[in-house]
Structure formats: structure tokens, C-alpha cells
Amino acid sequence: MSTYRAFEVTGARNFELVTREVPTPPPGHVRLRVESCGVCHSDALAVEGLRADPAQPIVPGHEVVGVIDAVGEGVGAWHVGDRVGVGFLNGHCGECTPCRRGDFVNCTDQPQTGTTTDGGYAEVLIARSSGLVRVPDGLSPTIAAPLLCAGLTTFSALRRLDARPGALVAIQGIGGLGHLGLQYAARLGYRVAAIARGREKEQLAVELGATHYIDSSAEDPGAALQKLGGADAIVATAASGTSMTPLVPGLAPRGHMVVVGVSMDPVSVATTDLILGSRTISGSLTGSAIENEDNLEFSSRSGIRPLVETMPLSRAPEAYERMMSGQARFRVVLDATA
């Protein structure tokens, strides 16, 4: 192939299917033949024109699985034929201060796949070798793709907890992030409380690993958690700061709420809810490439699987609209080989 298809976006939701020449990977990079790409809510950064220069075309998509078909100069650990993934972070530089301290997630010179550098709504992708993730043979491209971002986000949040086995961990929101968070929390040995609005997702929550279900539209979720003894930890995945606010009083002493759901409205917290009980709130941003490998390996061995809907690459704009509408159950994945 000398050319490939890609969906570029400019402005807000201006998709265009284009044909490009296949590029040669620069030094330190590899070229992938894309097999699948998850459609994530964070794709809105590119598609809704929230970038620094929305007039500049960009290919969205940062949950990418593919096979390396060309290797740039200076790349030694990766070879043609390797099956790999690329997440939101496209590879750390290894030279900035955070990198020198081993904090690769906060590298100051790290492209963001599908936002500052072209992503996976395409048949071909160029990626930094430092951002590559090995994909286990037991995971299909369609299943592995959402785990690279949605999976890693919740897995990383749970790994940061100082909670004993059997501790009560609450997952707020049963959507693209939350339905994976329930599975991870259960497999990590926690007692899991699922928090959502209404009862329609209760049975699914139990099937995914929840031992308790709290309907936040029918009762105060913080009070409900206290009835269970208080949550040692809460992972808040809903895209609503207002919905997170009443969760804080539900934390046990020294309990920790980790926020992974991105929202424009703030989380409001009474100082007494933090001070009395020594509670904490923090945010968590995805993870490094090697942590993502741990995530995929753990998911493969533990049977953690996203619930997905698959569409061909040619329907990428429709797939994005379905994801944004909230109708998808629960992740949409583009098949670049269809």
C-alpha cells in the first residue's frame, strides 16, 4: 500500500475522509497498520475544536491496536510484525525533569495521540516507540482497544489506593469507565459498591462484580456508603462534579476519592468532610506504557472485558456521535480492517 484512509477533523465535528501517502517513520518512531481504535469521550478534545488550533487538521483516536510494519532509526526493542497498542500518551521524551525522575505520565514533551498528533481513526499510525504497549495474544484487537485508555484509567486509579483486600471500594457511574472499574475492583479483591442513577443497571453491576448497589436518585449515596461502614475508597467516573460532591461524606476515616471522570463543573467539598476523618481527594491521569502492559496482562489473565459495539472505520463520524449521545453500551470500537 502506498496510500491509506484517515478521517481528519477541523473546527467542531467537521469530519473529512481523506487519502494520504503512507509515511516513513522518523527516528525513534514506528509505523502501525491499525486494526482497531476505540472511540473515547476524550476524543472530544479534537472533534469539538478544543485544541489550540482547531483549524489544523488532526486525526482523532487514542485507543489504537495495530501491527508494526516499519521501524524508524534508533528503535531496537520493537520489530516488524509486533502487535502493539497506543494509548492517549504517545510516548515520553526521556529527557525532561519528570522523565528523569521516572514520572513518565507527566512528561512535558509527550504528544497526545489523536489530539496533538494524529490518532487511530485511520488505517496507519505513527507512534513514538516509548509509548508502545505489547498486546497479549489472548486479547482480540476489538477487546484490547478500550482497555488502553478506559481500562488503564480505572486500573491506575485503583492501583494508587492504599486499601486492604476486602476493603469497601465504590465505583460511581456505570458507563464506559465504570463498567470496567467494577471488574477491576472485584478482581483485585475488594468488596465493591456500584453507584448509579436508577435501578436499570443493578443486575449488570452485580454481574460485573458489585456486591452492593446504590441508586443515587433514590437515596443519598454518601449516607448509603456510611450504612455499609464507609468506603475506604471511591473511584468517581461520572462526567459530573455535582454528582461527586455528595460522595465525600461516604468515605471512611482516611478514605480516598480518586476522580477520573472529566467534568467542567466543580466538586464542592466542605472542609469538615476532609479534616474530620483525614479524608483525601485526588485526580488520576491514565498511566505509562509499561503500566498499560501490566493492565492488559492483568485483564487478559483475569477475564476483564469491555462491553463493545463495533463499526467499520468508514462510519467513524457516526460512531463518535453514538458515543457522545450516551447510547453506546458501553464502548464503540472502529474496525480498520473492515
Amino acid 106: pLDDT? 96
Report phi then psi at 308, rounded to 5.
-130, 155
pLDDT one-digit tens code per residue, 8-65: 999 999 999 999 999 999 999 999 999 999 999 999 999 999 999 999 999 999 999 9
Nearest-angstrom CA–CA distance, 68 and 45:
27
Nearest-angstrom CA–CA distance, 295 and 267:
28
pLDDT one-digit tens code per residue, 292-329: 999 999 999 999 999 999 999 999 999 999 999 989 99
Amino acid 7: pLDDT? 98
| pLDDT greater than 90 at residue 284 | yes
161-283 CATH: 3.40.50.720
Structural contact between residues 143 and 324, judged by C-beta atoms closer than 8 angstroms: no
Please tell us whether the domain made up of 3-150+287-335 is placed in CATH 3.90.180.10: yes
The arithmetic mean of pLDDT across residues 134-146, rounded, is 97
Nearest-angstrom CA–CA distance, 161 and 242:
23
The arithmetic mean of pLDDT across residues 211-230, rounded, is 98
Residue ranges per domain, the chain?
A: 3-150+287-335, 161-283
The number of angstroms, rounded, from the C-alpha of 233 to the middle of its chain's C-alpha atoms is: 19
Classify residue 279 by burial, with Cβ atoms within 10 Å: 0-12, 13-18, 19+.
buried
Length of the chain equals: 338
pLDDT one-digit tens code per residue, 168-217: 999 999 999 999 999 999 999 999 999 999 999 999 999 999 999 999 99
Amino acid 249: pLDDT? 97
Q: Which three cell numbers stand for residue 22?
A: 503512507
- The closest alpha carbon to 246, from 218, 229, 268, 264, belongs to 268
Q: Which three cell numbers stand for residue 247?
A: 460522595
| pLDDT greater than 90 at residue 87 | yes
pLDDT one-digit tens code per residue, 113-139: 999 999 999 999 999 999 999 999 999
Amino acid 210: pLDDT? 98
Lowest mean pLDDT among 1-5, 26-30, 230-234: 1-5
Q: Which three cell numbers stand for residue 309?
A: 459495539
Structural contact between residues 199 and 179, judged by C-beta atoms closer than 8 angstroms: no
Amino acid 1: pLDDT? 78
- The closest alpha carbon to 257, from 184, 182, 158, belongs to 158
Amino acid 225: pLDDT? 98
Nearest-angstrom CA–CA distance, 150 and 241:
19
Amino acid 297: pLDDT? 98
Amino acid 175: pLDDT? 95
Classify residue 53 by burial, with Cβ atoms within 10 Å: 0-12, 13-18, 19+.
exposed
Instruction: Record the pTM.
Output: 0.96
